[in-house]
Every structure is written in structure tokens, then in C-alpha cells.
Structure 1
Amino acid sequence: MRPSRIIPWLAALALAGAAAHADIPKRVVSVNLCTDQLAMLVAGPGQLVSVTPLAANPRTSAMAEEAAAIPVNHARAEEVYLLKPDLVIAGRFTDRATVDMLRRLGIRVEEFAPAYALSDVPDRLTRIGALLGQEARAAELVDRFNAQLAELSSSTQDRPQAALYYANGYTSGDASLAGQILRAAGFDNVATGMGYGAIGALPLELLAMADPDVVVTGNPYPGASRSEAIMDHPVVTALKRGRVTGTVTDRNWVCGTPYVLQAVEDLVALRRAVEAGQ
């Protein structure tokens, strides 16, 4: 696989400075993994004062190295309040008690819904740019994201069949960020053909009957997990035997940031390997 072109320009933008505005929030706290990374990409120097511990975990965060230099919070209202933020950015599923308490204390809280489509990435970047007064920085990220996605996306008519298969036997259809990543890379998703929209449990029997060209499984976490044991089931093992396989690396798949392009690029390489073996 050729060296990635995704990470260098994102890293450069993450480290670059941004123009200051008199009215932008000066102390921003993020209490969600995905808003952590959006803020790190867009915030000006010193503007982002705290992120969650997940942001510094390389298994879950594509920006773990950048997050290591930022103080952490655990999304508790008391500790966030003591940081004296003038803006808190949260996820739609951030603990409601924390969000409600901070608002009662007079702190501005802005919530972001999870990304369910690749088109949500520019939307999230534009919004975080407006909130942080870093519109030009966000616009540059959006332009680069759109250009790179167009370059990576496949328009081929002869698309290999792929199945996403995670812990507890879950899969994702095209109405999900993971499903759209798969489709952009040039695969047809067997789950979509079975009627799955976003996410749902895929019985092993249906997976076996679909007989996809490739099975893309989750990347197991250290230690034993009954939920992940299904990925080693004989049915899954048989479907992988003698075929090209892939794994989902959570840090590039779970959040609607430009790092989803790395997931697309990885799957493009996987598709080419599948096609070469056919």
C-alpha cells in the first residue's frame, strides 16, 4: 500500500495557527470524543483548554498525539465548571445531567449529533468553525476533505461484495457512517441488500448465505470478550479462509472527522487486493 496522503495535511493543519477574533470563545471545553477531535482540528492556539481522556487513546482517537498535550476532563459538571469555560461542546448523547447542570449554571453548551453520513463531515467542520470563530480554518479543511474524498471514491460498476461484522454480530448498512465509508471505497454492502439501514444484528446464517467477497471485522480489544468471540466463529473463519480480509480501526471510523478518509483509503487498498485475487 502506498504511503497515506491523508494524515500529513491533517497534522499540518492541526498544528498551524489561526487568526484571532475579539469575540470568539477563549476557553473551550469538549466533553465528547468526536467534538474533542473536531475542536483540535479547528481551534486556535490555546483556545481549547480540555478534552476527554478518550481523545488521548490511540485505539479510539485519530488525534491521540495532539490530545496528549491538553488537560483532560471526565464530563462531570463540577470539574467542567471549575475550568471556567465560555463554551462547552458536547455530543447528543453526552450525559444529560452534565449538560443540564452546566446550562443551569449559565454556561453555553453546544451539542453535536453523531455523523451518519460522509456528507456530515463538512457540516460538522463548518459548524465548529463558526462556534470557535475559526471559519477560514474550517473552510480549508472542508475543501481538502471534499477534494480528497472525490479522488478516493470509486465509480466502478463491478463492485465486490463486502460485509461489516462487529462484536455481538452487529453490522452496518448504507445509512451509517461505516456503510458510507465502505461504499465510497468501491464495495457493495451485503447488509444493505438484506434491508439493513443503519445498524443491526446479522445472524451468522445470513452472513454465510450472503457469501461476501470480503468480511471486514472489528479490531479486537486486548483481553477476552464474549461479545467479540463471534468474530472467531467457524462460520466467519470459513468465510475468511483463502480470501483477503480487513479490520475496522475504530479511531478512523467512529467520528465524523476528516480522518474517515484514512478508513476509505485503507478499504480502497483492500478492494484492489480483492480484485487482484479474483
Structure 2
Amino acid sequence: MRERSLRALLVFCAAMATQSAWAGPRIASINVCTDQLLLALADPEQIVGLSPYSRDAARSWAAADAGKFPKLSGEAEDVLVLKPDVVVAGRFTKRATRELLKEKGLRVVEFDAARTIDDVRAQISRMGDIVGHAERARAEIARLDASLARARAMAGQHPYSVLAVSRRGWVSGGDSVISSLLTAVGLSNKASALGLRLGGFASLESIVSLKPDLILLSDTGSFAEDQGRAFLLHPALERLYPPAKRIVLPERLTVCGGPMLADALDRLTAELTHIGQ
């Protein structure tokens, strides 16, 4: 009996020591972009749940890591059950959900969509402060800046004009992370000639007439599963922009502003190196 009591006491003391050693906030994320910031900067013990799209490998840079944590429904109910200290969300996350969580007394921190490299730095720093790991945020910003310097050095050798095109002819406008990334490294976004601020659809004729040096795509697939994808495989584009004139940056590296942009910049450096050979 005495031995069992002693063992129970030791287990209790160990648990209390662990609890006292950890004082960081418990956090739930209900947005795919805040998911990725959280995964990069928080301790695993802090993450109580992630958004419904957190495990989508096409949209989330951190999809593999996200599988280790509970997937939330995107509604308020399962978040309320978890009773997190903080809920992080996107400004465009379902408003009714955000408002209900606030009404129930939860602290909801909202992030705008990052549109510039400076926005990305600010969001990394902000999440670092929320999770209590400002030093990790500084390290991620330093990694981003180092990748930016490498990409700038490579792009400076050939200051190409680039047009970022995706399904059905959607073109990323000047007020976007893609445009900021291109400008930051010394490349020009030809979308400005179309007068597109946030982005918009462009006809095949207008894209061809712009004559960018390169086009930027999110994948290299050669199968047109629908009309949206078929646009990118049009013979005119394939003739004018063979693989040697295409930059490929997977969507998961650019759909959000966060630590993944360092990887996007490294991929851009590699693509430009290959094109310049």
C-alpha cells in the first residue's frame, strides 16, 4: 500500500511539474493560413485544433504536420467544447462563427490576408507573440530574408517580366503576395499592364499580346481534367511558353503569407537557375 501511494505521489508531482513548466496559451485555429503560422511557431501542446482544410496538401504547406492534431469543423460548437485560451482566424473566416465565439467570451485574434512581404513578416511576428515564442518568429523572418536575398541575387542576372496565370486564365494582380514576391526579387509582374489590382480573368489573346518573358504556374500537369485546366494547355501558350519559359510554384507555397514563402523563394531561385542555363 505504501509503495502504491508513493508511486501515485511521484506521478502526481511529475504531472504538476510539467504543468507548472508549461504556461503557454492553448490555441485553436479556424483558418488554413493561421493553421500554418501556428504549426510553424507553437509548441505541439499549445495546439488544440486546426481548420477543416489544414490537411489539404494542395492548399496547406504544413498538411503533413496538421494530421497530428484534431481537425475542427469550422463551426463554433467544437471550438467552444475545447475551451481554448485563444482562437486564431482569418478576417474572411465565416463571420457568424467568429462573432459567436466572441459572444461566448473567447479571445478571437483575426488575421488579414497577407498581400506583401512586409505583411508576411508582420503576421509571423504577431503569431510569435500570441504563442509566446517571439524568438521562433524572428528565426522564421530571418529565414525568409535569407531566401529573399538568394532569389534577388539570381533574378538580378536576368530581370524577366512574369505573368502569373492559373485556371481559366486567372491572373494574379499587383496587390497580391505573388506580385510582391516577384517585385521584391527584381522581377516585374506584367499583370499591371492589364490594370488588375487584386487579380482577374484575362483572355488568351490578352495574355499572348502582353508577351511576358515567362509565365508562372502552380503545377506542371499535362492532363486537362476540365475547361479550367484546359486553358493552361492551349497550344498557343504551350508554343510560346514551353517548359524553359515557365516558373512553377506550387499553390501551397503561395496561397498564404507565412514561413512557407521562404520555401517559395528558394523554389523560385531554383527555377530561375534552371531557366538561365
- TM-score of the superposed pair, with normalisation by structure 2: 0.83
Asked if 1:215 is matched to 2:196, the reply is no
Judge which range, 123-132 or 193-202, deviates more.
Answer: 193-202
CA contact (8 A) 2:249 2:268 kept: no
Tell me the residue number matched to 2:258.
Answer: 257
Distance in 1 separating the partners of 2:201 and 2:116? 20
Residue 228 of structure 1: how far off its partner (Å)? 2.5
What SS does the aligned partner of 1:69 have?
Answer: coil
Measured against aligned partners, the alpha-carbon deviations of 1:102-153 in whole angstroms (never above 9, x if no partner) come to 1111111110001101111210011111122222222222233223322332
Identity of aligned residues (%): 32
Q: Which residue of 1 aligns with 2:15?
A: none
Task: Say which SS state the counterpart of residue 251 (structure 1) adopts.
Answer: helix
Aligned counterpart, 2:29? 30
The answer to whether the aligner puts 1:138 opposite 2:167 as a matched pair is: no
The total of aligned residue pairs comes to 256
Contact kept in structure 1, 2:148 and 2:185, CA below 8 Å: no
Per-residue CA deviations over 1:249-270 (Å, capped at 9, x if unaligned) read: 1110111112112222222222
Letter in 1 for 2:149: A
**Alignment of structure 1 residues 226-265 onto 2, 5 Å:** 226-241=227-242, 243-265=244-266
Name the one with the larger helix percent. Answer: 2
Alignment of 1:36-115 (within 5 A): 36-115=35-114
Which structure has the bigger radius of gyration? 2
In 2: Cα distance, 1:210 partner to 1:34 partner: 32
Moved over 6 A (4+): 220-223
Higher mean C-alpha displacement, 196-205 vs 180-189: 180-189
Is there any run of 5+ residues in structure 2 with no aligned partner, and where? 1-19
CA drift of 1:31 comes to 0.3
Q: 2:159, 2:187 within 8 Å by CA — same for their partners in 1?
A: yes
Cα distance change of structure 1 residues 196 and 20 upon mapping to structure 2, 3 Å threshold:
farther
Q: 1:72 to 1:193 in 2, by over 3 A?
A: same
Q: TM-score, normalised by structure 1?
A: 0.83
Residues 165 and 216, structure 1, Cα contact 8 Å, conserved in 2: yes
Aligned to 2:182: 182
Alignment deviations for residues 65-118 of structure 1 (CA, whole Å, 9 cap, x no partner): 211111110211111111111211000110011101111111111100011011
Q: CA deviation at 1:47?
A: 0.4
Distance in structure 1 (CA, Å) of the matches to 2:238 and 2:113: 32
Unaligned stretches of 5+ in structure 1?
1-18
Which segment is superposed worse, 44-53 or 115-124?
A: 44-53
Deviates more, 1:101-110 or 1:172-181: 172-181
Task: Report SS of the residue matched to 1:54.
Answer: coil
Q: How big is the shift at 1:239?
A: 2.0
